Chains A and B, each alone.
Chain A
Amino acid sequence: MGYFENIVVGFKIALQLENIFFCFVGVFLGNLVGVLPGIGPLATISLLLPLTFHFSPVTAVIMLAGIYYGSMYGGTITSVLVNIPGEPATIVTCLDGYQMALKGRAGPALGIAAFGSFIAGTLSLFGLIFLVTPLSSIAIRFQAPEYSALILMGFAVLIYMARGSKLKAGISTVVGIILSYGGIDTLSGKTRFDYGVMVLKDGVGIIPLAIGLFGVSEILLNIEKSNTYMVIKTNIKSLLPSLKDWAESKWAILRGTLIGFLLGIIPGGGAIVSSFVSYTIEKKLSRYPERFGTGAIEGVAGPESANNSACSGAFIPLFALGIPPNVVMSLLMGALIIHGVTPGPLTMKEHPEIFWGTVASMYIGNFILLVLNIPLIAIWVRILRIPYYILFPLILLFCLIGTYSINNQTTELIVMTIFGVVGYLGKKFDFEMAPLILAFVLGPIFEQSFRQSLIISDGSFSIFITRPISGIFVVAAFFLLLGSLLSRFKKKRTVLVR
């Protein structure tokens, strides 16, 4: 089938009543959790994952993906009106978005963010459509050494792209890999690291781990602070940006789309990094860089387009290679595996309806989000005013129910609580949790392919270098790790000089 036929099939699937409904539920929930600080798409996807067991795989992915890109829209509202990022990917939006709101231009800031996200979401879908198929056909030739080298590069990117300490990102990554070893070893059949505890016989579950690290820990972090946030009192008259606003934003939107899409593909990149990169580039390219930070509309349009575009780009490595480039994608991969579908190069042939149905639903979802965010903005502003003391008990209860409903085991609730504490302490000590969970998902694929490679090569590590594709990945990983190491020394030197 050609692209056109595939797209038609995709829309046929996405336009089924059930899929439209769950697409709406997904983007609505995504927008909602994006608006509310303290709960993000990760926690929400983790919570709703067990509920999707009753759905078909395509419906499950449509809803979960909707939560992901929907949260990018919602996070903007909080960034602009409260100066607190609803989502980490909308941190930079605070810089100029809030300043615009203070000047009485909250409407155009929210408007350009919504339109920019819609344009970026739409354009990046074309990139997704045209890149996945050729990449899948290349990836079919991938064998164990290529997979292990690619994942090794992914780990290196995770460490290199870390926002804080690269050493701590490295530790998080290795801890994630170690946690993934629990359960039955597929090659030897031995049970590892169960310590006689029944719940650990199958290893640590991704749901209690993710809900603990991202849901519970966020609540604990928020509850320990006594300060509350204030929604700016501004009159949002019109959300439609003026012609001048469009003229100032059009290139920022297009550049943001491209940056987001490309960074979304790279493992460890994604929405957060791309929004920062887009902001930096816009500031550098601007004729008036001094305007940035004082309410420049390009400073909102670029990053907002980038973070939305990154969401689409992130689907490429998942569907073409079977490798999730970020944590949300790792949860989507988990959802597909639970449904008996292992994402990878063969997914496009074996389950084309999942990919094309999801792509088509994303277009529909972006349109729904535009409607939800432009005429219905007042509803989101009201939701933003719900006090946290009402929200947090509900979120905690959903965390408990979400975890319990997977296997109906109370021991998994204890595992969730333990990882909630681990996540809380980890974040208190500036350890990033995203590398941990991504490494947890990639760890088993990495170990299995690495061990298979060593068996094939009779114990020779040269197999990773002599094969051209894996060689490129290994060299890239080496330079990325070297770069991380050098940046650590450079930082230390700067501190000592100061």
Chain B
Amino acid sequence: MPSGKKDLFPGLFILGFSIFIASSALKLGIGTINDPGPGLFPFISAVFLFILSSSLSLGSFKDRVSPDVSKSEVRYGKVIFIIASLLGYSLLLDFLGFLLITFIFMFVLFLMGLRKTLTSALVGGIITTISVYILFGLLLGVSFPKGILGLWIK
């Protein structure tokens, strides 16, 4: 795929990351070459990353090739929704418990995929949650948090 200015943003981001790592490495102490400290290798790696990302950023200015514009429809809304769902699951797992949060998670995602059919999403959510709990929780012995349901389920 042609590069074009498309590489400028990631190039600059990685450049910033390399500076951040280099400063953290210096704080760790780089030691000497015959007695390398814990920060020496991270510092050297950060310098390499700085050089490579600078080359990428600068190269994006030189490249005259226009960025590849995909003609197919890109659904960023769904991507953001899934990321938010994953974060929501991660943050609420301990509080709501595995059964409740898994049901909500599956119901919401099935609903997103199936669009209209509320009942199918509901049934899908229930079946998946119970099946997964039996498989992982009961058969494979994975310990899941009970959360607020733990007040009723022992």
- 20 A–B contact pairs at CB < 8 A? A54-B141, A171-B53, A178-B45, A178-B46, A187-B38, A193-B21, A193-B24, A216-B86, A220-B79, A224-B79, A225-B74, A225-B75, A226-B73, A227-B72, A396-B105, A401-B132, A429-B6, A431-B10, A450-B41, A495-B64
- Docked Cα-Cα span, A420 to B59, in Å, equals 27
Q: Judge whether A397 and B102 touch: CB under 8 Å.
A: yes
Cβ < 8 Å to B, chain A residues 394-415: 394, 396-397, 400-401, 404-405, 408, 410-411, 413-414
A51, A164, A171, A457: which has the most chain B beta carbons within 10 Å? Answer: A171
Q: Judge whether A223 and B63 touch: CB under 8 Å.
A: no
Q: Does A245 contact B (CB under 8 A)?
A: no
- For B119, the chain A residues whose CB sits under 8 A away are none
Q: Judge whether B74 and A224 touch: CB under 8 Å.
A: yes
Nearest 7 CB-CB pairings of A with B: A389-B113, A459-B34, A413-B90, A393-B109, A459-B33, A185-B38, A417-B86
- Docked Cα-Cα span, A458 to B73, in Å, equals 59
Q: Judge whether A394 and B128 touch: CB under 8 Å.
A: yes
B3, B45, B59, B140: which has the most chain A beta carbons within 10 Å? Answer: B45
Q: Judge whether A175 and B14 touch: CB under 8 Å.
A: yes
Measured CB to CB, the closest approach of chain A to B130, in angstroms, equals 13
Selected from A187, A389, A410, the residue in CB contact (under 8 A) with B90 is A410
Residue of B nearest to A185 (CB): B38
Residue of A nearest to B3 (CB): A165
Assuming A424-B79, A425-B10, what are 5 further A-B pairs, CB within 8 angstroms? A167-B55, A168-B56, A226-B75, A397-B105, A397-B106
Cβ < 8 Å to B, chain A residues 456-473: 457-459
Q: Judge whether A447 and B90 touch: CB under 8 Å.
A: no
Q: Does B87 contact A (CB under 8 A)?
A: yes
Cβ < 8 Å to A, chain B residues 1-60: 1-3, 6-7, 9-10, 14, 17, 21, 24, 28, 32-42, 45-46, 48-49, 52-53, 55-56, 59
Measured CB to CB, the closest approach of chain B to A91, in angstroms, equals 15
Selected from A190, A223, A387, A454, the residue in CB contact (under 8 A) with B75 is A223
Q: Judge whether A410 and B94 touch: CB under 8 Å.
A: yes
Cβ < 8 Å to B, chain A residues 172-214: 174-175, 177-178, 181, 185, 187-188, 190, 192-193
Measured CB to CB, the closest approach of chain B to A398, in angstroms, equals 8
Q: Does A36 contact B (CB under 8 A)?
A: no
Total CB contacts across the A-B interface at under 8 A: 163
- Docked Cα-Cα span, A451 to B56, in Å, equals 30
Residue of B nearest to A498 (CB): B65
- For B52, the chain A residues whose CB sits under 8 A away are 167, 170-171, 174
Cβ < 8 Å to A, chain B residues 116-145: 124, 128, 132, 136, 140-145
A residues with CB within 8 A of B: 51, 54, 164-165, 167-168, 170-171, 174-175, 177-178, 181, 185, 187-188, 190, 192-193, 216, 219-220, 223-227, 387-390, 392-394, 396-397, 400-401, 404-405, 408, 410-411, 413-414, 416-417, 420-421, 424-426, 429-431, 447, 450-451, 454-455, 457-459, 495-496
Q: Judge whether A396 and B35 touch: CB under 8 Å.
A: no
Measured CB to CB, the closest approach of chain B to A185, in angstroms, equals 4
Measured CB to CB, the closest approach of chain A to B12, in angstroms, equals 12
Measured CB to CB, the closest approach of chain B to A330, in angstroms, equals 18
If A392-B113, A397-B102, A397-B128 touch, does A417 touch B32 (CB 8 Å cutoff)?
A: no
Selected from B34, B55, B73, B93, the residue in CB contact (under 8 A) with A413 is B93
Q: Judge whether B142 and A405 touch: CB under 8 Å.
A: yes
If A397-B102, A417-B90 touch, does A224 touch B75 (CB 8 Å cutoff)?
A: yes
- Docked Cα-Cα span, A326 to B15, in Å, equals 27
Q: Judge whether B10 and A429 touch: CB under 8 Å.
A: yes
Residue of B nearest to A447 (CB): B41
Q: Judge whether A420 and B86 touch: CB under 8 Å.
A: yes
Q: Judge whether B41 and A181 touch: CB under 8 Å.
A: yes
- For A458, the chain B residues whose CB sits under 8 A away are 34
- For B65, the chain A residues whose CB sits under 8 A away are 495
- For B110, the chain A residues whose CB sits under 8 A away are 389-390, 393
- Docked Cα-Cα span, A390 to B3, in Å, equals 35
Measured CB to CB, the closest approach of chain B to A479, in angstroms, equals 19
Measured CB to CB, the closest approach of chain A to B10, in angstroms, equals 5
